[in-house]
Amino acid sequence: MQTRAFLTKGSHNLKDVKFKIRLGYLMFAIVLDAFANALMINSNMGSAVWTASAVNISKLLHSSYGTTLFIYAVIVTIVNQFLLRKFDGHIFISNLLFSLPFSYLVGFFSFIMDPLRLNQLPITLRLLVDVLGLFGVSVGTSIYQRCNLIQHPNDELAYLLRFKYLHGSAGWGQLFSYTPPVIIMLICFVLTGKILSVGVGTILAMFCQGIIIGISDKIVLPSLKHHYSF
């Protein structure tokens, strides 16, 4: 009995350690992803697709990036429930828990980088900053998806499409998930005659972000594995 109790206690301790490690990776990934998104915004060479869409809505409605990103996230959270074909309280709440700090971190990092005037650098350096941001977004997404704790609803959407409908393809999952933000950007363009934060980085994100995520799954912290249950 004592041996069994010792083994059980040891098992619980190991689980606690693993959970704390995953929680640490999750926090790192959220900060990395938010900072990388802000880099892409401030480089003015094209943001990641969802972020570019939020920038256009923000300008149209005269709202802050953080608030716009969070409201956007709430809407996508609801859409994810329809894709699941059932209500999943864990996914619903976890999507919102991720969205709140992430949304305002993007706005915060973008604000504090304003004095650097990244958008006034030579075009080659701006492109380099933008691509660096894209890699940061992709790596951050890969890490927090595999932490299997919480993730952003936009990435949950791509994740659901990837594993539930597209046979595990990260590239196709990411590409199909971009349909809503692209449509919204087109609507903003029709209403304002302008399209903001769209450029080389946006095109690269549309076609390469899912591929980079898939590669990151294998080479960045490979001990973290996907665990999906839907």
**pLDDT tens digit sequence for 36-76:** 999 999 999 998 888 889 889 988 888 887 888 888 889 99
For every residue of 36-103, which 3-state class applies, written as one string?
HHHHHHHHCCCCCHHHHHHHHHHHHHCCCHHHHHHHHHHHHHHHHHHHHCCCCHHHHHHHHHHHHHHH
Which ranges constitute the DSSP H helices of the chain?
A: 2-43, 49-61, 65-84, 89-113, 123-147, 153-160, 170-177, 179-192, 200-219
Q: How far apart are CA 56 and CA 47, in angstroms?
A: 11
CA 86 to CA 30: how far, in whole Å? 27
pLDDT of residue 207: 86
Mean pLDDT by 10 residues, the chain (230 residues): 51 76 93 95 89 88 86 91 90 90 91 93 95 95 88 85 84 84 91 88 88 92 73
64-68, Cβ contacts within 8 angstroms, sequence gap of 24 or more: 64/107, 65/41, 65/103, 65/106, 65/107, 65/110, 66/103, 66/104, 66/106, 66/107, 66/108, 67/103
Q: Over pLDDT 90: what percentage of the chain?
A: 39
Q: Which amino acid, 20?
A: K
Q: What is the mean pLDDT of the chain?
A: 87
Look at residue 17 in the predicted model and tell me its pLDDT.
82
Q: pLDDT tens-digit profile of 159-174?
A: 888 888 888 887 788 7
> What dihedral angle (degrees, nearest 10) is formed by the CA atoms of 203, 204, 210, 212?
180
Angle between helices 49-61 and 65-84 (to 10 degrees): 120
